[in-house]
Structure 1
Amino acid sequence: MTHPPGKRLPRPGHGKVVAAVAGLVAALGLGALGEAHAAPPAAGAGTPAAPSRWSDHPHGFASLAGGTTGGAGGEVVTVTDQAALAKYAAAPGPYVIRVAGSITAQPFGASVEVASDKTIVGVGTTGELVQGEFHLSPGTHNVIIRNLTIRDSAVEGDWDCKGTDFDGIQMDTVHHVWIDHNRFSRICDGQLDIRKNSEYVTVSHNRFEDNNKTFGVGWTADVRTQITVDHNWFRGTKQRNPSVDNAAYAHLYNNYLTAQADPGDPVWTYGNWSRGGTRMVIENSYYEDVQHPYQADATAELVQRGSVLKNTSGRHDTRGAAFDPRDFYAYRLDPARAVPALVRRFSGPQQGIGVVRGGDDGPVTTAVAPGTCRAGGHRPANEPKIVPQGTGQDRSGTVIVYGTPAAHGGSNGGATVRNSAGDATARDLPFGNGSDGAAHEPDGGQAPATRSAGDRTVPEDTASAGGQDTLTTDSPEPVTVVEGPVISALGSRPATGIGCGPAAPAGQGVRDLEPPAATRASPPARMGGFPRQDAPHARH
């Protein structure tokens, strides 16, 4: 919907092999489809657990009232052109649609209609829709759009886009939608418009870049919408970051706003706006070089707590009591000071999203192409049969590395690769954390490469290279090689050696990996089924 700049939002009423281009590719976990539409959530009832950093299921309001599962249980298809994308997106029934590579919409600004029960996910970091729009019509429900770049429908010389309605994603009177890990850039009108009483929506881990009208919620006289907005990066955007009009509940947390496109405009360059009858809660966000970071109409409510304001000016409104998000769902609130580093790393398309199970129960091998991939990943607890495997001539031919210190993610969230599944295997892969631990002392010196919390996980010919807390195990985990300035395997279970390769580099500090006293005294059942004699403690 097109509006001139600054105009108020109107209120009218056994075994497959899946090849990955590069990097570690984790599964996109898919659950069963529940009842989609329900009454507004009752406070405190059926509160979902807080999501992990690399959650494969929606959190926030999209997780309530039956949840959002997209195309779970449907056919998995891969599309490379507009015709196939449009065909499957609009088809009846559930589909998981993998977008491989770049698709340019024709004619310029063309809309791709998305029907209910769809997951649309980019493959790796290259899946994109260029000069086109995804549109969800009234009544559409249970839709997931993840890991895509949506870009370049802007019209040269028409910054306000008064004559077009080219959005990135537009939805009207829908429910249960999850917009996650996408990148929006240079869209002529709104990058994301959530309109006309849409309900149970979560917008997480996206990048919004280089735009005038960015992210609007409203276009209704009713106060019904429930929306969660978290861990998004608004960079080089002017207004609607987001603007939320007549939402019953708007929960914004851990977002990063920086480098506004037009800070010289004293009125219509702003950050978050609570409008109409909206009740908005903002928590632990980070505002840098932003004019009017957050503001509220006299009729709206806005609670702000814990955010960082750096070089900001203008309005910083708070008004009323709004609501308590924890009455609806659990969530993890990151420290505001860590938000820039976390959002820079985790927002937008990721290599670790996009390989999905096709519905069978056999193992799926994700073949990781040779080279060094700077990415991270998480194997969820419900996907133990996905096996990442290096395809180089030897183990050193494929390296998975990232550089997040514990100061910016904890020993858990900072790990380059995390495993939550039992009976899980990885082969022929070194995992590394390239963070300079010394630069983050005293509170963030750990640079964990691998953390496993599943029973009977089996790394075969793998290596974990990093700093302190290089490998953390909370389960009986066979270990091949652990390299680093300090070698340690921490957790409640001992580590078991299989086919150990070279020891740590000469001159580096090395210690025996002895289990804690509680583990030594525990019965064999605590070993996750490994007889004690088959679970020797790894030593170099």
Structure 2
Amino acid sequence: MVLENSYFQGMKNPVIKDATATIVQRGNVFSGTSGRNESGGTAFDPKAYYAYTPDSAANVPSLLKSGTGPSSSIGTTAAASAKAAAATTLTVAKDGSGQYSTVAAAVNAVPANNASRVVISIKPGTYRETVKVPSNKPHITFQGSGGSRKDTVIVHNNAAGTQKPDGSGTYGTSGSATVAVEADDFQARNLTIANDFNEGANQSSPATRRSPCARRPTRSSWTA
């Protein structure tokens, strides 16, 4: 180990090595320390691998303090939004190889009022879920990453008369959409959005009405 230009203050046993270790010290400052401060043996030269210029050990306390304490850009909503906006591509994969396993989770991760485009890249697979793109999340693109629009499918089977899981009523025509887009500047490419409600098998059911896969446009299958 090479230990250089470090500053130790007010501590006991600042440097301890066992019988098998070699420690080369140079340029260190020990202020108010006590006990074991050990070195010995030989070590590699870091500059043989990369160039660097260490700060003076005497300046370490002031350098450390200059980077600590409250900051106007740390922990704020603006900083978090800027960080999220920088990640302009979010990856969805059912097998866990992406950042998210559902399309809805990726949409939820987009910061509200995002100013730039966010591409949600969706790996091949069938995603049985409903997705809502709210009005405060513009500039979103759903991009299927397969070789064909048939490789990536977002599908669900809600219909107008389908009962909601919480028993609060039925979805209605607009509420039964597989993908509901309320935001401006939305794009969908190289994928299929579908509603596979079986109308033939449910002719007597109040759910047999329009069962859109997407609110823009309303069809039983929408490919892009």
TM interval, shorter chain, is 0.3 to 0.5
Larger Rg: 2
Query: What's the TM-score once normalised by structure 1's chain length?
Result: 0.21
Query: What's the TM-score once normalised by structure 2's chain length?
Result: 0.48
Larger helix proportion, structure 1 or 2?
2
Larger strand proportion, structure 1 or 2?
1
Higher relative contact order (CA 8 A, sep 6+): 2
